[in-house]
Structure 1
Amino acid sequence: MIASHLSELHCSYQHIILSPHLDDAALSCGGSIAAAVAAGEPVLVVTICTAAPPIDAEFSPLAQHFHAEWGLPPTAVMQTRLAEERVALAILGADGLWVGALDAIYRLPQVYHSRETLFGMPDPSDPLAATLRELCNHLRSRFPHATIYAPLGVGNHVDHQLACHAAAQLPGPVMWYEDLPYAVRAGELERRLAQLDWPLRPLVRAIDERMTARLAAIAAYASQLAELSHSQLGHAATAAEAGEVINAAVRDYAHRVAPPGALYGERFWVRTTTGAIC
């Protein structure tokens, strides 16, 4: 099931994944989600930026570039992407909660108007920070024993950074996942860990039996494959090429981080101290 409000959820979830955008959870930890569900441990994917851009919005050149890359007019962006998410979550077996916040390029178009600003420091006036603090507090209150997973913020997308820091203020079990496709780039993970300078230790999970489900869930986000592959190739790709590029990048990275004896893995980061770390 997919809900638009916490009150609609009636399951006792053991794992809650904070996904800034429609595709982040599948890309970064889809194997672990599928594995938890297969083990009888309910998973909730909380996707934050799910609001459609205003009809009368003036889109920045960056937003227009994304629309062209996705092959979608602004009026169809969210409808298409939400439909993709339904398919992806069904493949993984997870429930969903759509928070209804605006993506950065729609939320503050005058601020996040270029790749440099979108992948820079979050603006101090960004309303998503308060939204995420409230959301995380409600999630922890409603599901006190659940492990909450948040993006580490590799690549420095502002929405990922804000989610990363909101989760860090929570008590109870919290883990951070490595943001793909950004973590694939050489040195990006190390730069982010140095930037945070938090007391964290790695934890790797084998996902050999769930790699197929992870790749299938990623493929469900068909509108995003061109942009995702662009980040790997540095240029636009055909639909077929885009899928191959993403599959190869995800497989290669999962193989690199796999625990001993496993073919594929997903790596998370766990705080070594109790309580908030920022």
Structure 2
Amino acid sequence: MSTALFISPHLDDAVFSCATLIQRLVAKGTRVVVATVFTEGSLDYPQRRDEDRKALHSLGVEAIHLGHLDAPDRMPRYQTFREIIFGWHDADSHTLQAVTHSLTDCLNQIRPTYLYAPLGVGTHVDHRLTHDSARQLRGPQRLTFYEDRPYAYAVGATELRLRELGFDGGPICVQLLLKSFRQLPHVKQFLPTGPERKLCEKWLLQPLQKQSSVLATNQLIQATDHEAWVSQTSAFYYDTQFQAFCGTLKRLKQTDLRHSQLLGSKSRRTERYWQLPQI
């Protein structure tokens, strides 16, 4: 039996981002495992771990919780939107080493045929750490990157992240990027209009200064109506996170459809996966 390992920064990211592909793999008889990195923190974490187990069980997936502390719980400076999205501190290098060690052990135990990791869209520090750790892993598996949702719902956010990493993922319309960024539920909740948002948006656009001729390649996974429905309802298991990051189930369906259409797909939900060439 082949095995697919999805590396998830938090207790929701793999399901939010990859539920359609996960369903396809399970339907083919592939063993699917989700290893979540940052699974310890504040008082709601026992509930969040329980939500994750239920969501993954509903998809026929195994759950592994690696037990690292979420950013705001391991470092007081990660209490603001600006710090979490743009910050990097000396202690993060030690966290990177610890996460890489945990993931290496996980890889050696599971020996997956397929390996998926976050691209780091949205640049949450825990997503960046997980992305960087995944790129340090060594093995025969081909490493494929998924677009982190809901951050990828900002039009051009994935292309912006690729630009930051030194790749050309396609054109970016600044006006459309900022407009859709401001409409994301978590941005509305955690980054209200004002000087702080203006500063964050200025920093958000900094990767536009980089240019690259190295093309990153992608593959689209277009969900059937049933796969789209299962993907969206499985996200609903994450009750503590769903409203802040997805809004309502109706809004999630609308956002998925809009995102799919922007990717040139007629599906109700389309997931995009990336291969990054060596540079």
Q: What TM bracket, shorter-length normalisation?
A: 0.7 to 0.9
Name which of 22, 28, 39 aligns with 1:50: 39
The answer on whether the counterparts of 1:258 and 1:266 sit within 8 Å (CA) in structure 2 is no
Change (3 A) 1:113 1:19: same
TM-score for the superposition, normalised by structure 2: 0.75
How far off its partner does 1:268 sit? 0.6
How far off its partner does 1:142 sit? 3.0
Per-residue CA deviations over 1:41-96 (Å, capped at 9, x if unaligned) read 1110111111143xxxxxxxxxxxxxxxxxxxxx3x11221221122112211101
Ranges in structure 2 where 5+ consecutive residues have no aligned partner: 168-213
Secondary structure of residue in 1 paired with 2:137: coil
How far off its partner does 1:271 sit? 2.7
Question: Cα RMSD over matched residues?
Answer: 2.1
Greater relative contact order (Cα < 8 A, sep 6+): 1
- Residue in 2 aligned with 1:90? 57
Which letter does structure 2 place at the counterpart of 1:125? Answer: A
Name which of 149, 171, 185 aligns with 1:180: 149
- Residue in 2 aligned with 1:207? 223
- My pick for the range that moved more, 119-128 or 170-179, is 119-128
- Residue in 2 aligned with 1:251? 257
Change (3 A) 1:254 1:93: farther
- Residue in 2 aligned with 1:113? 79
The yes-or-no answer on 1:130 pairing with 2:102 is: no
Name which of 256, 266, 277 aligns with 1:272: 277
Secondary structure of residue in 1 paired with 2:90: coil
Runs of 4+ in 1 over 6 A off after TM superposition: none
Per-residue CA deviations over 1:176-213 (Å, capped at 9, x if unaligned) read 10011111112211210100014531122232142121
Instruction: Map 1:1-278 onto structure 2 (within 5 A).
Output: 14-53=3-42, 75=43, 77-109=44-76, 111-126=77-92, 127-171=94-138, 172-198=141-167, 200-208=216-224, 209-229=226-246, 242-257=248-263, 264-273=269-278
The answer on whether the counterparts of 1:149 and 1:174 sit within 8 Å (CA) in structure 2 is yes
Per-residue CA deviations over 1:115-165 (Å, capped at 9, x if unaligned) read 000001332312421122112322333344522111111111000001111
Change (3 A) 1:40 1:271: same
Secondary structure of residue in 1 paired with 2:19: helix
How far off its partner does 1:28 sit? 0.6
Secondary structure of residue in 2 paired with 1:156: coil
- Number of corresponding residues: 228
Which letter does structure 2 place at the counterpart of 1:195? Answer: E
Give, in whole Å, the separation in 1 of the partners of 2:135 and 2:107.
12
Ranges in structure 1 where 5+ consecutive residues have no aligned partner: 1-11, 54-74, 230-240
TM-score for the superposition, normalised by structure 1: 0.75
The answer on whether the counterparts of 2:20 and 2:221 sit within 8 Å (CA) in structure 1 is no
Identity %: 28
Secondary structure of residue in 1 paired with 2:91: coil
